[in-house]
Structure 1
Amino acid sequence: MSVTRNVLWIAPYPADPKAHAAPWITSLAKALSLSGQIKLTILSTSSSISSSTLEFEKDGYRVILLKVLPPKWEIVTLYLFRILALRRWLKNNQMSYDLVHVHGTEHQFELASVGLKRPTVVSIQGILFRYLKALPETFSSKKLIWLLGSVYERWGIRKHKHFVCRTHWDSAAIRSLNPTARIFVGWEMIRTDFFVEEGNNFEEKSNVLFLGGLNSIKGIAEALYVFDAVVQNDDLTLVIFGDGSVKDLNALIQRKQLANLKVGVNVFHKGRASADQIVKEML
């Protein structure tokens, strides 16, 4: 006889019930809800809701949003309002759940969930204290925000006991701060949109698809350097999906002096895309 478990996620989630959170959040949440063995609640924060809390149902799971300050005031108050709002809610409601699963350490969720009486596990997404080293700018608002976040992140990682990581890299980052941590290795769930039966009628093409946009941390500069080196001798096309624009791409290519790359000829930036658009491009 199967037992239904009450599971609480603390994860980033949009205030609009019609909007979609990060795909690894929504895909796994929907799959777990359909299993019939998990009763899932997602706890998150938002500055755009009008009441102190907002609750709604989505794809078989429940979402609870707590009202927090607008982003600029969040920074001024060092995110303490958000952290305390989450801690108060967790203190009053944690015993209703069999497990608390924290998604990511970028939003102080790991700090708000330290010391709970229920079993708690933290999934690692981005790692701010590592990412700081890769930010190209000397000073920026992003760097300031990440610096503050990394202070909280380090403290929270040291205090938690259980983590879910995907690679040796993030596992090593956790162990550098918390040598006794218990680490479970688990990949994110990929959206079902990418598993479409299309047969074997694929055209032979010489295209390269890059899904990181123009985000420096995703490796766009390295990808362009390599493509510039190989495109001299091959008829290749590089297609980029993600943040940024054609203007930004042109500026990056000129700044890096990549003479073999021509935007609109052998390099294309198509912006952000839906899963369906990415599937079509992959085919």
Structure 2
Amino acid sequence: MNLLWLAAVPHPLKSGGGHPVPWVTSLAHKLVEKGDANITILSYNPYVAQDEEVVHKGIKYVFIKVPEDKRDVLRAFSGRIKRVQNYLKDVGNEYDLMHIHGAEQQYHVIGANVKIPKVLSAQGFTREYYKHLPKRPEYRHLAWLVAGYYEKRFMPTVKHFICRTHWDKSVVRTMQPKAVIHHNWELLRPEFYTAIQPATDREPNAVLFVGGDNYIKGISEALQTVDMLRKKIPIRLIVTGSGSKQSLLKLVDKLSLHNIKPDDIEHRGMLSAAQLWDTYHEAFCLLHPSYIDNSPNSVCEAQLAGLPVVASDVGGVSSLVKSYETGLLTSLNVADIAEAVEQLWQNTSLRNTLARQAREISLERFDQQQIVDITESIYQEVLANP
């Protein structure tokens, strides 16, 4: 099968350049390894010097040079859309099927005029995320407003969708009532299929937050939770991702937090999968108090590796976490979050039970061969009913 994937992927031979999207590239490699598919991944990129094609590990990558986001947003991203559409005019019909990874970055708009069978993997939805932006205007307000328009306007041009949670299925049906919805999970990074080993010489005392200084991921709630709990238990906060310790301490001052001291916070920056897996051993829980999420990989990876999760009950998170079975769900009220975190701190038996049960379910949910097989089955269904 000759497959064309439209996805925001980084250059495989250059460092930097965006999110590594391991769920996309891992699946591509697994499909190509089976020998039943040829895959071309088409991606726009403002940072390449010119249009570029490269073959890496059996996958062909095509990067189309487009204007920078902050310039192109003033033209409603028409520059990027037209540049990639012009490329597809000549080659789009050479493929058997188009797999669009996400609607946030207009790839479903770009592929709309190519008359081959299509399927779109739902990721996040900008229209929904826009509602949770900080009130202070910034670039994202304009960019996400434009992206949200394209989501709604062009979603009906796609018939088949791959979804993971009750929430993404509901959002898709709202924008495309005639959608044919298929269920499949995404591949996770291989490091997290190995269970973490509880320390025998010390009790883990850290709350782990992997959302950096991202407001929507709940950094304010994470800091307030640890501040509240520091009144009575000796916990600390490890933050990974964007930002810096300085930015966290500024937020501590802004929130007027007095119990959490500089030595109680670590900011470790962007970690590799192996580094994050190692960090799990220092924590007694992953805290994910996000304002909105579909199927956050941070939660999935922690469950798979056996780190207990406390997460806000928003978006599709309850499709991953069943409270008191595979984690603890809370509201975004800091007192509720703190109560759940304290429960895990005080109750080692509960911690171990949640970790074990979440890992058992996750090993089935994220079984690599099963995900590959279901993907191939979905492709056949799309071809049979385009």
Query: Is TM more than 0.5 here?
Result: yes
Aligned to 1:83: 81
Q: Equivalents in 2 of 1:260, 1:184: separation in Å?
A: 48
CA contact (8 A) 1:15 1:46 kept: no
Q: Is the 8 A contact 1:15 1:48 kept in 2?
A: no
Partner residue in 2 for 1:204: 203
Aligned CA RMSD, in angstroms, stands at: 2.1
Structure 2 residues not aligned, in runs of 5+: 282-386
Q: Secondary structure at the match of 1:218?
A: coil
Q: What SS does the aligned partner of 1:228 have?
A: helix
Equivalent residue for 1:222?
Answer: 221
* 1:17 corresponds to: 13
- How far off is 1:190 after superposition? 0.7
- The alpha-carbon distance between structure 1 residues 257 and 114, as it changes in their structure 2 partners (threshold 3 A), is same
> How far apart are residue 104 of structure 1 and its match?
1.4
Q: How does 1:89-128 map to 2 (within 5 A)?
A: 89-128=87-126
Give distance in 1, aligned partners of 2:172 and 2:38.
29
**So what's the TM-score if we normalise by structure 2?**
0.66
Deviation at 1:197, TM superposition (A): 6.6
1:95 Cα deviation after fit: 2.5
CA deviations 1:252-278 (Å, max 9, x no partner) are: 1222223222232x2221111111211
Q: Report the alpha carbon displacement of residue 35 of structure 1 after superposing the two structures with TM.
A: 2.3
1:6 corresponds to which of 2, 6, 19: 2
Specify which of 161, 177, 180 is matched with residue 179 of structure 1.
177
More helix by share: 2
Pairing 1:1-283 to 2, within 5 Å after superposition: 5-15=1-11, 17-19=13-15, 21-51=20-50, 53-196=51-194, 204-264=203-263, 266-283=264-281
Counterpart secondary structure, 2:233: coil
Q: Normalised by the size of structure 1, how large is the TM-score?
A: 0.89
- Which residue is equivalent to 2:337? none
Offset of residue 188 of structure 1: 2.0
1:76-103 deviations in whole A, cap 9, x for unaligned?
A: 3321121122223323222222221111
Identity of aligned residues (%): 35
Say which SS state the counterpart of residue 153 (structure 1) adopts.
helix
Q: Structure 1 residues 205, 70: closer, same or farther in 2, change over 3 A?
A: closer
Superposition deviation, residue 61 in structure 1? 0.6
Q: Secondary structure, in 3 states, of the residue corresponding to 1:227?
A: helix
Letter in 2 for 1:256: L
What is the DSSP-based 3-state SS (H/G/I as helix, E as strand, rest coil) of the residue aligned with 1:95?
A: helix
CA contact (8 A) 2:69 2:77 kept: no
Report the Cα offset of residue 42 of structure 1. 0.3
CA distance in 2, matches of 1:196, 1:62: 30
Amino acid of the structure 2 residue aligned with 1:161: K
> Do the aligned residues in 2 keep the contact of 1:209 with 1:239 (CA within 8 Å)?
yes
Structure 1 unaligned residues grouped into runs of 5+: none
Quote the residue 2:313 is aligned against: none
Q: CA deviation at 1:13?
A: 2.3
Q: Tell me the SS of whatever aligns to 2:49.
A: coil
